[in-house]
Structure 1
Amino acid sequence: MTRNGRGLNVTKQEWIKYAALFLLAVAAFGVSWLALTNPRGASEAVSPVTVTPPSATPTATVTPTANATPSPKPKPKATAERLGIELPAEPVVLILGDSYTAGMGADPADQGWAYLVAGSLGYPTNIDGVPGTGFAWGGGEQDELAQEYEVRLQAAAQDPSFVPNILILQGGQNDAAITDPAEVKIATAETIEAARRFWPGIQVVVMGPSAPLPFAGDLSAANSAVRAGAAAAKAPFIDAVKAGWFTGANSPEFNFDGAHPNTAGHAHIAEKFLKAWATLTD
């Protein structure tokens, strides 16, 4: 290239070089423009992205968030009311029942279960046992003697010299002669309520029928009726039948006449009663 007064003189080779550079610049600009407007190209498909969540690690305790509603806790099952005896400062006891309370079968009669219990407890005690009677059965072949327990309690309440604050009612053997168990249940509940009227504040315990086998097998319905009556009056019930005081194994040695226990049988009843009494007064 030479310089003269009128401008620049460009040789042919230089024009070719400038033209090539220009074309390269144009091509570069075009590539850049395409990259900006379609970086993947018009025909290239965009593959979807799959997101794999992180594996959760289980924990032993789940902490709820502030807005979470806690699951309701299961309510505890209702339990039956525990009935018992709160011993007075000076217990005075009346034991009322049938021939078992009278000591029939024991030799002598004062070795009957009621006498043994009274001696073991050591409280002032009156024992009223009349053979052939019950809560609903008044005694006699035809239930004609009117010696039901409530009647006898009413007579006992006429004596101002003896005021019991604990009453033990034993029976049900003779009530098995009643064909309607509901009658026995009602009579049992009414007897307990009557005692509470005669001696306000008295505490009542009921001991159902008990007998050596096979007689015990005939007492199931009467036992259930007496137990239901005690429950209706909210009085503790000692269930000799359910507890199995007399079994096929021990009945022969405790049997007196097929319907009553002998002396050893009465001692057996007294022992079982005192164990049940301990749980009621605990």
Structure 2
Amino acid sequence: MMRNGGRMQDWMKYAALAVLAVLAFGVAALALMNPGGLGGAAEPLPASVQVATPAATASPSAPAVPTATATPASTATATAPPAGIELPAEPVVLILGDSYTAGDGADSPDQGWAYLVANALGYPTNIDGVGGTGFAWGGGAQDELGGEYELRLQQIAATPSFVPNVLILQGGQNDAQLPNAEEVKAATTQTVLAARRFWPGVQVVVLGPSAPQPLGEELRATNTAVRAGAEAAGAPFVDAIDAGWFTPANSPGFDFDGAHPNSAGHAHIAEKFLESWAALTQ
């Protein structure tokens, strides 16, 4: 019995080993048929299932990078001109303009408005007036002379012996010959910005058209363009037309030839400008 019992136990052991072998073979076969089933890619989840992913964390060796957030697009807004200018401790002035700045129409150039203003202020001053020129109009019948204000400023800046820290730009009368007011506006802005590049920190004031009537009224559109250009550059604008410096009543006594003021007219411009100057520099 002991021998038969031993054989029976051996048989049961071999049978168990056989069953285990069959099970192992089945598992291997399943793995071969579905290689992703054990630790591989999972089956796609239904669309309604939300899968959470862990948030990225900053490593101790590198600072966290803030997540960019959308900001509303900035919109362009009109820049109001400053209330005035910051007058330097030792002003050095450049007055640049057209035939008005040159003193045309006065009995002598030194009776022109620019010379009268320079004498009244008492600062070292250079005066550059060229007839027939403007912010955008270079002079000549076909705008061919290259006397635009920006080009003249560039020429003056090439001489290091004179460095202004205050610039008065006068004009606009001759720019009325251009049919495109936007060109006049752009040229005015560009002239002011160029002056600041040539002389960093220079304080700029723009004096627009200041003609006796009826020419003054005819220049209103150009005056508007020059004013807009000055404001776009953040430069204060002295508006002789809107302020009514010349009226139908006083213009006959101030007019020289219908296009220029006489000596009394130049003195009138100087007086009115100095009033504006006082307000700008107080």
Does the 8 A contact of 2:81 with 2:236 survive in 1?
no
Match of 1:182 in 2: 182
Match of 1:246 in 2: 246
Q: Deviations over 1:115-140 (max 9, x none)?
A: 00000000000000000000000000
Shift of 1:109: 1.2
Match of 1:125 in 2: 125
Shift of 1:80: 5.3
Shift of 1:82: 3.8
Match of 1:257 in 2: 257
Shift of 1:214: 1.1
Match of 1:237 in 2: 237
Shift of 1:86: 1.0
- TM-score (structure 2 length as normaliser): 0.71
Match of 2:150 in 1: 150
Q: 1:80 to 1:129 in 2, by over 3 A?
A: closer
Shift of 1:217: 1.8
What is the alpha-carbon distance in structure 2 between the residues aligned to residue 219 and residue 123 of structure 1? 31
What is the alpha-carbon distance in structure 1 between the residues aligned to residue 261 and residue 86 of structure 2? 31
Shift of 1:218: 1.3
Q: 1:225 to 1:80 in 2, by over 3 A?
A: closer
Residue pairs, 1:7-156, within 5 angstroms: 82-156=82-156
Shift of 1:81: 5.7
What is the alpha-carbon distance in structure 2 between the residues aligned to residue 211 and residue 81 of structure 1? 23
What is the alpha-carbon distance in structure 2 between the residues aligned to residue 179 and residue 248 of structure 1? 26
- TM-score (structure 1 length as normaliser): 0.71
What is the alpha-carbon distance in structure 2 between the residues aligned to residue 247 and residue 228 of structure 1? 23
Does the 8 A contact of 2:94 with 2:125 survive in 1?
yes
Does the 8 A contact of 2:106 with 2:262 survive in 1?
yes
Does the 8 A contact of 2:81 with 2:234 survive in 1?
no
Q: 1:145 to 1:215 in 2, by over 3 A?
A: same
What is the alpha-carbon distance in structure 2 between the residues aligned to residue 81 and residue 181 of structure 1? 20
Match of 1:204 in 2: 204
- Indicate the RMSD between aligned Cα atoms, in angstroms: 1.1
The reply on whether 1:281 has 2:281 as its aligned counterpart is yes
> Residue 243 of structure 1 aligns to which amino acid in structure 2?
A
Match of 2:168 in 1: 168
> Residue 92 of structure 1 aligns to which amino acid in structure 2?
V
> Residue 84 of structure 2 aligns to which amino acid in structure 1?
G
Q: Which runs of 5+ in 2 are unaligned?
A: 1-78
What is the alpha-carbon distance in structure 2 between the residues aligned to residue 173 and residue 188 of structure 1? 13
Identity of aligned residues (%): 75
What is the alpha-carbon distance in structure 2 between the residues aligned to residue 173 and residue 278 of structure 1? 25
Shift of 1:204: 0.3
Match of 1:217 in 2: 217
What is the alpha-carbon distance in structure 1 between the residues aligned to residue 190 and residue 139 of structure 2? 18
Shift of 1:83: 2.7
What is the alpha-carbon distance in structure 1 between the residues aligned to residue 223 and residue 98 of structure 2? 14
Match of 2:194 in 1: 194
Q: Which runs of structure 1 show a deviation greater than 4 angstroms over 4 or more consecutive aligned residues?
A: none
> Residue 132 of structure 2 aligns to which amino acid in structure 1?
G
> Residue 155 of structure 2 aligns to which amino acid in structure 1?
A
What is the alpha-carbon distance in structure 1 between the residues aligned to residue 81 and residue 159 of structure 2? 34
Shift of 1:85: 1.1
> Residue 272 of structure 2 aligns to which amino acid in structure 1?
K
How many residue pairs match? The answer is 204
> Residue 208 of structure 2 aligns to which amino acid in structure 1?
G
What is the alpha-carbon distance in structure 1 between the residues aligned to residue 217 and residue 199 of structure 2? 35
